[in-house]
């Protein structure tokens, strides 16, 4: 069996792979001291130039050394919602289980870049036991989302007991994985891994991918193996300047995903992670992009454009609005091609609004 190629993990190996120039080595060494670097062989193969849409996501630059005043080490506020190590519990009916703090690749825009990569890898046996006991103690938790780090880096032998434990918790009805593995390290999607995901509790896999160039033959085959095993697939994408911030780039990606049985789920506005300002677009630009996709792209290809409110206040849709209130219960509606249409008034609401008890 041929020896598996190694990931690119150092500035020197970036230079040897012609992804940075020799004069950039000193500044990239400074970046690598703070933020982890890793590029899998599968992703290196998808890079055509050192500045293409794939390379821009994974090759470090000196821009990462600049932190703007509004950027935060914990941009979406995980820390206040961490009752035990490995758990983030922000919403009543779902929580995050983070068993692994390592990734096969390190995205240069990652919102957990201060905590994912350096230090420990997997939760210890005792830490995992406490995390699982917390989930058992929360009867309102309907869904457990494994994230991290990338949870599908865990070997099937170590993943199987975690899945067995979650499967045995009666109030947990859905197990969801957030992962890049099928795209960036597709050889890990083995029969053993799929067997480990085969619990009675339904498993959903949300695949992170940002550009169609990432989806080579190996990635598409890995997605096919998952979907053929009956695992529903969703995707999440981060809106990134210089990577996918055009209608054509998003259209190509979302159509390709649906053609590979992956439903686009979220388009994330870039988070305020330190050293990521060069990736963020304006929210207005994101809204314009989503507006331009409406009408030219099938509804099955449309994700929800969302913003994680800094400070841990939750995720909200921030897509464009097509409705204008003209008063007296009348509206003007903008169609996907920019034309406006009157919408007839509806029934006058009751003088006293109905009262609801939550």
308 is known as an active-site residue? yes
Q: Which tokens is 241 given?
A: 């300047």
CA distance 242 to 280: 9
Sheet holding 94-100, edge to edge: 87-91, 94-100, 143-148, 174-179, 203-208, 233-238, 263-268, 304-308, 315-317
Q: How far is CA 85 from CA 80, 124, 134, 135, 304, in A?
A: 12, 10, 10, 12, 30
List the catalytic residue out of 44, 85, 94, 158.
94
Q: Which tokens is 206 given?
A: 């949300």
List the catalytic residue out of 108, 271, 280, 301.
271
301 is known as an active-site residue? no
106 is known as an active-site residue? no
220 is known as an active-site residue? no
List the catalytic residue out of 107, 108, 134, 188.
107
- Alpha helices of the chain — where are they, by DSSP H? 11-16, 25-34, 41-46, 55-58, 125-136, 156-167, 181-184, 191-196, 217-228, 247-259, 283-293
List the catalytic residue out of 85, 90, 241, 263.
90
Cβ–Cβ < 8 Å for 106, 37: yes
List the catalytic residue out of 15, 63, 78, 91.
91
110 is known as an active-site residue? yes
CA distance 256 to 254: 5
280 is known as an active-site residue? no
- CB burial string 74-89: b at 16+ within 10 A, e below: bbbbbeeeeeeebbbb
187 is known as an active-site residue? no
List the catalytic residue out of 103, 176, 266, 305.
103
Q: How far is CA 185 from CA 46, 57, 160, 181, 210, in A?
A: 12, 15, 20, 5, 15
Reduced to 3 states (helix: H, G, I; strand: E, B; else coil), residue 135 is helix
List the catalytic residue out of 263, 315, 331, 334.
315
List the catalytic residue out of 24, 56, 72, 112.
112
At 325, which helix (H) or strand (E)? Answer: strand 323-325
52 is known as an active-site residue? no
Question: With the C-alpha atoms ordered 107, 227, 251, 215, is the resulting torsion angle positive or negative?
Answer: positive
Which positions are catalytic?
Answer: 90-91, 94, 103, 107, 110, 112, 271, 308, 315
């Amino acid at each position: 069996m041929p020896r598996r190629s190694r990931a690119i993990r150092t500035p020197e190996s970036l230079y040897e792979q012609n992804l940075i120039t020799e004069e950039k080595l000193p500044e990239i060494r400074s970046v690598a001291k703070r933020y982890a670097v890793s590029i899998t062989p599968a992703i290196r193969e998808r890079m055509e130039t050192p500045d293409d849409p794939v390379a821009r996501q994974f090759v470090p630059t000196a821009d990462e050394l600049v932190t703007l005043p509004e950027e935060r080490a914990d941009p979406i506020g995980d820390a206040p919602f961490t009752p035990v190590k490995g758990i983030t519990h922000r919403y009543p009916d779902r929580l995050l289980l983070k068993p692994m703090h390592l990734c096969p690749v390190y995205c240069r825009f990652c919102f957990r870049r201060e905590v994912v990569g350096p230090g420990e890898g997997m939760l210890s046996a005792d830490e995992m036991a406490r995390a699982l006991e917390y989930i058992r103690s929360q009867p309102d938790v309907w869904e457990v989302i494994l994230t991290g780090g990338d949870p599908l880096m865990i070997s099937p032998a170590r993943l199987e007991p975690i899945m067995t434990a979650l499967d045995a918790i009666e109030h947990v009805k859905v197990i969801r994985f957030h992962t890049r593995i099928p795209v960036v390290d597709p050889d890990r999607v083995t029969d053993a891994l799929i067997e480990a995901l085969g619990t009675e509790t339904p498993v959903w896999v949300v695949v992170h991918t940002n550009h169609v160039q990432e989806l080579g033959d190996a990635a598409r085959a890995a997605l096919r193996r998952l979907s053929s095993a009956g695992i529903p697939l969703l995707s999440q994408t981060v809106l990134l300047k210089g990577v996918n911030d055009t209608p054509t780039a998003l259209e190509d990606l979302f159509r390709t995903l649906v053609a590979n049985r992956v439903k686009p789920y979220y388009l994330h506005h870039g988070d305020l992670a330190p050293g990521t300002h060069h990736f963020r677009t304006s929210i207005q630009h994101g809204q314009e992009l989503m507006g331009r996709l409406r009408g030219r792209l099938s509804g099955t290809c449309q994700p929800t454009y969302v913003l994680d409110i800094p400070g841990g206040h939750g995720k909200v849709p921030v897509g464009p609005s097509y409705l204008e209130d003209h008063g007296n219960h009348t509206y003007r509606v903008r169609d996907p091609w920019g034309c406006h249409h009157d919408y007839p008034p509806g029934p006058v609401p009751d003088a006293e609004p109905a009262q609801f008890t939550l």
